[in-house]
A and B are shown apart, each in its own frame.
Chain A
Amino acid sequence: MTTTLLDGPVIDLALLGLALAFLLGMLRGVLGPLVADRAIAADVCFFSVVASFALLALRSGSEAFIDVVLIASLLGFLATVALAALVTARSA
């Protein structure tokens, strides 16, 4: 963390890119004609938030954010599986 390359504005730029990815996913979630489209969009939004948590761990210097990433990626998988079960149960 003593480096100057990874301080402040560089990470902010990366966070901005992730926010743009989040917005694109959110747009598909609003547009998406099927429930499965919305589930996919939620997946993209969720993982862009998880990746931004990883960047925030670097930005704020506290490694507790890494634990958040670890738990959140597991929970995101469970959420996607639940949404897939929901999509299947709705149609069959």
Chain B
Amino acid sequence: MRAVVAAVLMFAGVLVMLIAGIGVLRMPDTLTRSSAATKGTGLGAGMILLGVGIAIGTPNALIKVALAIALQIASAPLAGHLIGRAAYRSGAPLWEGTVIDDYRRFYPYERQRMAWHRDAAEGASSDRG
């Protein structure tokens, strides 16, 4: 019974990690890719860790696994937010179908540099700052 629960958790975690990989590969712009990666790795790795902890079953392993999951849950959204913020502020182009862009009014200047990334061919390093 315990092995069944552990196996189901592990395979669900692997499935979520696979979905994260597919999302990172196929999503249209940087921010949506970041979203897929953050949720996928946080949930997927957490579920795999929980499954492994249940499968091993010793208190020692369970404590370490709980600590690792807590660390993961605390740090994954923060890392995703930091990467998304850095990408937006460095002028990452948004998807054409983007409906809402609340951050625009804080960084109107960076939005103008969207073309800077689209054609990296014409001396992109000259107009930094």
Residues of A within 8 A of B (CB): 1, 3-6, 10-11, 14, 17-18, 20-25, 27-28, 31, 33-37, 39-41, 43-44, 47-48, 50-51, 54-55, 57-58, 63, 66-67, 69-70, 73-74, 76-77, 80-81, 83-85, 87-88, 90-92
Contacts and interface: CB of A to CB of B under 8 A. Distances in A.
Closest 10 CB pairs of A and B: A24-B21, A91-B90, A36-B87, A21-B21, A77-B75, A3-B3, A80-B79, A84-B82, A47-B41, A87-B86
A9 B41 CA distance: 24
Interface of B: 2-4, 6-7, 10-11, 13-15, 17-18, 20-22, 24-25, 30, 33-34, 37-38, 40-41, 44-45, 48-49, 52, 55-56, 58, 60-61, 64-65, 67-68, 71-72, 75-76, 78-79, 82-87, 89-92, 110, 117, 120, 128-129
Contacts of B83: 36, 39-40, 43, 80, 83-84, 87
Nearest to A82: B82
Interface of B, secondary structure class, is helix
17 contacts: A1-B56, A3-B55, A5-B4, A17-B17, A23-B21, A24-B22, A31-B25, A47-B45, A48-B21, A51-B17, A51-B44, A55-B48, A66-B68, A73-B72, A77-B75, A77-B79, A91-B89
